[in-house]
Structure 1
Amino acid sequence: MSFKIISGLSGVAPNYDAFILDLWGVVHNGHHPYPGVLDCMDRLREGGKPIILLSNAPRTNGYVVDFLENMSVARERYDHILTSGDITREVLASRDHPFLNNTGTAFYQIGAARDKGLEDGLDYQKVSSIGDADFLICTGLVDDQTETPEIYREILQDALKHDLPMLCANPDLTVMRGATSHYCAGAIAALYEELGGRVELFGKPYPEVYRQAMEKLQVSEPSRILAIGDSMRTDIKGANGCGIDSVLVSGGIHADEWGLKDGQLPTAAQIDEITRVHQFSPTYVMGHMVWQGN
Structure 2
Amino acid sequence: MTFTFLSGLSETVDQYDAYILDLWGVVHNGHEPYPGALDCMANFQRHGKPTILLSNAPRTNGFVVEFLEGIGVPRSAYDFILTSGDMTRSVLELQDHELIRDAGKKFYQIGATRDKGLDDGLNYARVFEMSDADFIICTGLVDDTVETPENYRALLLEALDHDLPMLCANPDLTVMRGLVKHYCAGAIAALYEELGGRVALFGKPYAEAYRRALQTLNLPLDSRILAIGDSMRTDIKGARNAGMDCVLVGGGIHAEEWGIAEGEMPSMEQIDEISHLHGFTPTYVMSHMVW
- Shorter-chain TM-score category? over 0.9
Separation in structure 1 between the aligned mates of residue 222 and residue 51 of structure 2, nearest angstrom: 14
* Equivalent runs, 1:186-225 vs 2, <5 Å: 186-221=186-221, 224-225=224-225
Separation in structure 1 between the aligned mates of residue 25 and residue 241 of structure 2, nearest angstrom: 21
**Which runs of structure 1 show a deviation greater than 2 angstroms over 4 or more consecutive aligned residues?**
219-223
2:17–2:223 CA contact under 8 A, matched in 1: no
Does 2:40 correspond to 1:43?
no
1:59–1:115 CA contact under 8 A, matched in 2: yes
Deviations 1:156-184 (A, max 9, x none): 00000000000000000000100101000
* Equivalent runs, 1:138-149 vs 2, <5 Å: 138-149=138-149
Separation in structure 1 between the aligned mates of residue 241 and residue 154 of structure 2, nearest angstrom: 36
Separation in structure 2 between the aligned mates of residue 129 and residue 85 of structure 1, nearest angstrom: 23
Find the counterpart in structure 2 of residue 66 from structure 1: 66
Does 2:92 correspond to 1:92?
yes
Q: Report the Cα offset of residue 221 of structure 1.
A: 3.6
Separation in structure 2 between the aligned mates of residue 74 and residue 147 of structure 1, nearest angstrom: 31
Separation in structure 2 between the aligned mates of residue 114 and residue 141 of structure 1, nearest angstrom: 11
SS in 2 for 1:82: strand
* Shift in alpha-carbon separation, 1:222–1:83, aligned structure 2, 3 A: farther
Separation in structure 2 between the aligned mates of residue 220 and residue 176 of structure 1, nearest angstrom: 35
Q: Report the Cα offset of residue 222 of structure 1.
A: 6.2
Find the counterpart in structure 2 of residue 165 from structure 1: 165
Aligned residues: 291
Separation in structure 1 between the aligned mates of residue 216 and residue 128 of structure 2, nearest angstrom: 37
SS in 2 for 1:261: coil
Find the counterpart in structure 2 of residue 228 from structure 1: 228
What is the TM-score with the length of structure 1 in the denominator?
0.98
Q: Report the Cα offset of residue 223 of structure 1.
A: 6.0
Find the counterpart in structure 1 of residue 275 from structure 2: 275
Separation in structure 2 between the aligned mates of residue 91 and residue 222 of structure 1, nearest angstrom: 28
Separation in structure 1 between the aligned mates of residue 14 and residue 74 of structure 2, nearest angstrom: 24
- CA RMSD between the two structures: 0.8
Q: Report the Cα offset of residue 101 of structure 1.
A: 1.9
Q: What's the % identity of the aligned pairs?
A: 67
Find the counterpart in structure 1 of residue 266 from structure 2: 266
Q: Report the Cα offset of residue 35 of structure 1.
A: 0.4
Shifted more, 42-51 versus 203-212: the winner is 42-51
Separation in structure 2 between the aligned mates of residue 290 and residue 103 of structure 1, nearest angstrom: 47
2:248–2:282 CA contact under 8 A, matched in 1: yes
* Shift in alpha-carbon separation, 1:94–1:68, aligned structure 2, 3 A: same
Q: Report the Cα offset of residue 48 of structure 1.
A: 2.0
Deviations 1:117-145 (A, max 9, x none): 00000010000000000000000000000
What is the TM-score with the length of structure 2 in the denominator?
0.99
